[in-house]
Amino acid sequence: MRKASGMKLTNRLVAFVTLIVICAVFVLFIGGAVSFRKLGQDFLSQYLSGMSEVIDQELANPENSEYFSKWLPQLLKASDVVELKIYSDSGVLYHYHELQLTTYAVEIQKFTYPLKHNPGFSVTLSVIPPYSEFAYSLGPMASISLAIAIIVLGLIWGGRWLRQQLRGAEMLEDRGRMILSGRSEEVAVGRDEEFPSTASVALDNLIAELNDARQERSRFDTFIRTNTFLDQLTGVANRVMFDSRLKSLVQEQDSRGAVILIRFADFDDLVQEQGKELADELVQSVSSMLSNMVQRYPEAVLARYFDNEFAVMLVHQPTREINQFADHIVKTLERLSPPQPMDADNWCHVGVSLFVSGDRRGRIMDEADMALRSAKLQGGNCWSIYKRALEEEEARGSVRWRTLFDHVFNNGGPELFHQKVVDVHGNKLHEEILARIRDENGLVVKASRFIAGLNAIGYGERLDECMVSKSIEYAYRTPSEYVSINVNVDSVIKRKFYAWLRDKLLQTPRETRERLIFEFHEGLLVLHLDAMRNVSRMLKGFGCKVIADKAGRTVVSTHYIKDIQPDFIKLHRSLVRDIHQRAENQLFVRSMLGACESTGVRIIAVGVEKKPEWDVLLNLGVYGCQGRYVSPELSMTSINKPTTMKPRPSRKRFRDQYSK
């Protein structure tokens, strides 16, 4: 993949032009200096040659030889000749040497000329090189200095002019860098000064088409998931999604719950006599009422099972609570006034079937249908439960839950388990920290079973604080481990918990913070998207990572991926369970992978139990795996020891920065 240049276009061009001009000036300077020196040497050689001819002629004339020693020294001194020697093979005829010779830093040059009119004689002259005594002066060098100054000023002006002319190209280059950094929305429309304008307009069109394609793909992905798992009329889950969730739940260890079927009598007659529109209005009204009722139960699933039948699945709820819920359904639906020909006193019937882990999905639905028929035979709007010999767990009320959790927190908080997450090559990505508690009998209770009671007594924030503190301590003790923490969205969006978490991270060493990963429920994350933007920004500002957990439990738009930009997305275990036998789950996973393809967000499959499941997920293109197929859940007893980490003092300026 090509990488963008780190140097701007204007800087490169200015540097190139500057280098060319400097090289040209340097070459001209060197050439001028060499030429200047060569002219001086040629002049000196020609001058000394003429002097040697004069000496030759004077020696050849006997009448002038007697005056030779009188005028020659004066001429030599005026010509900067240091030494002159006239000699032959028989000896030296005349020797001149300047007595008061100044020591020069340059070497004295010697020239030897034969005397043509005096055969056998030669003259040697030692002279000072030309221009050796000349130094820089303003007058003689003014023209050269002015020329160099003009070149420098012209170069500066030319560089500024070139930058101004190429400003549009530089703006276009900056825009390209913004696009490469994933911030194309900020530069979706270019400025008029960008050059070349055709490239700017082309980028405008391409970004607009890319945004349309992304939105269309998001809508298409949502459409696929909606048509696969949601009812088109009511927006709740359809039969496919309900059966998938139920089948996955009964295969989990220590799972229990109930399936509740709500059926309308004389629905077909209503459609024939009053029309489908009126029947759809009744279905929508019932769906809205049931949706409001199931919101108070975690992990509950509401689905439109048939045209005139709804199904509700409650998880880890005692029988007393299930009976109260069924009775509440009947009383709530009785408030509606169904249209004719439906009988207002005998139009809705409810059937309840209890299940535990290991039951078959078909048997559970058959029992719920038998209970529903029993309610219909009783006459009137009523409900019935299928009687089965189940080992009923003792139901806890708010007081008993509070007593249990007070005991847990007074003894150091919940027990921690951990399960590692690996990538497709088997390399460890991080460890997820899981909370477990022990009941009065010493049995381990999973979070899915006690979370409802915890929230009912208002201890959710207290559990999150305890989990975050213990997880940070574990990350501090194990410098090589990346640790993920499950935090409730309802807790972190509250101002008090947000401030506590910010201060806690400020007191945590940077090396430890960068190995923390916070997991949030995808459905609640989308529900509180505006508040979670600030939370995500704060966590990433500290160097932590963010994960959208339980993706696919509810069908939501994937637009949150661009807003929150989580590092990972973890699929809900119901999508992974027996995915090699469920084409609709594979379609859902493909849709999620497509939505994350251009964002850099990676998908992790949770709850992988079998090799065929992992093989299918590998072929689909998931990034990581978590489940018993890779690693079981292991206890972390050492984390319950007192904290030894020395907290860092908080700084007010960082607190003010992240509180904005």
Is residue 16 over pLDDT 50? yes
Give the largest CA-CA distance in the chain. 165
659 CB-near residues (< 8 Å, 6+ apart): 499, 502
Is residue 102 over pLDDT 60? no
Q: What's domain 420-431+464-631+640-659's architecture?
A: Alpha-Beta Barrel (3.20)
- For residue 307, what are its two tokens? 């045209």
pLDDT tens-digit readout, 475-507: 999 888 899 999 999 999 999 999 999 999 999
Could you list the beta-strand ranges (E) of 294-427: 301-306, 309-315, 348-356, 382-385, 415-423
CATH 2.60.40.1080 fits 239-385, yes or no: no
Please name the helix (run of DSSP H) or strand (run of DSSP E) that holds residue 189, with its range, or none: none
**Contact in structure between 484 and 517 (CB atoms under 8 Å):** yes
Provide the H-helix boundaries in 181-303: 197-229, 239-250, 267-274, 276-294
pLDDT tens-digit readout, 593-607: 888 877 889 999 998
- For residue 539, what are its two tokens? 């966590």
Phi, psi of 415 (to 5 degrees): -75, 145
- For residue 80, what are its two tokens? 């900067």
CA distances from 310 to 236, 239, 332, 654 (A): 10, 9, 15, 52
Domain ranges of the chain: 9-127, 181-229, 239-385, 420-431+464-631+640-659
**Contact in structure between 648 and 509 (CB atoms under 8 Å):** yes
Task: Determine the angle formed by the axes of helices 276-294 and 267-274, rounding to 10 degrees.
Answer: 140
Q: What pLDDT band is residue 216 in, cutting at 50, 70 and 90?
A: low
Average pLDDT over residues 229-233: 83
263 CB-near residues (< 8 Å, 6+ apart): 306, 308, 309, 310, 348, 349, 350, 351, 372, 376
432 CB-near residues (< 8 Å, 6+ apart): 418, 419, 420, 421, 484, 486, 519, 626
171 CB-near residues (< 8 Å, 6+ apart): 190, 191, 193, 194, 195
**Contact in structure between 190 and 204 (CB atoms under 8 Å):** yes
Residue 21: its pLDDT value, please?
84
**Contact in structure between 194 and 178 (CB atoms under 8 Å):** no
Average pLDDT over residues 268-292: 90
Average pLDDT over residues 549-565: 83
Would you list the DSSP string of 479-508? TT--EEEE--HHHHTSHHHHHHHHHHHHTS
Stronger pLDDT, 5 or 518, i.e. the higher one: 518
Dihedral sign from CA coordinates of 578, 580, 584, 585: positive
Same fold, 239-385 and 420-431+464-631+640-659: no
Residue 652: its pLDDT value, please?
43
**Whose structure tokens read 């001429």?**
75
pLDDT tens-digit readout, 373-432: 999 888 889 999 987 755 444 556 778 888 899 999 988 889 999 999 999 998 999 999
Number of separate helices (H) and strands (E) present in the chain: 23, 19
Q: What are the CB-based long-range contacts (under 8 Å, 24+) for 556-559? A: 556/522, 556/523, 556/526, 557/218, 557/222, 557/526, 558/218, 558/221, 558/222, 558/592, 558/595, 558/596, 559/218
480 CB-near residues (< 8 Å, 6+ apart): none
Residue 217: its pLDDT value, please?
65
Q: What pLDDT band is residue 132 in, cutting at 50, 70 and 90?
A: low
Q: Measured between alpha carbons, how far is 637 from 634 in angstroms, rounded to an integer?
A: 10
Dihedral sign from CA coordinates of 635, 298, 629, 595: negative
Number of Cβ within a 10 Å radius of residue 633: 15
Q: How much of the chain exceeds pLDDT 70, in percent? A: 87
Stronger pLDDT, 167 or 261, i.e. the higher one: 261
Residue 604: its pLDDT value, please?
94
Number of Cβ within a 10 Å radius of residue 13: 17
Is residue 647 over pLDDT 50? no
pLDDT tens-digit readout, 326-381: 999 999 998 888 888 888 888 999 999 999 888 888 899 999 999 999 998 888 89
Is residue 238 over pLDDT 50? yes
Q: 627: left (phi > 0), else alpha (psi -120 to 50), else beta?
A: left
Phi, psi of 285 (to 5 degrees): -65, -45
Please give the span between the terminal C-alpha atoms of the chain, in angstroms, as a whole number.
39
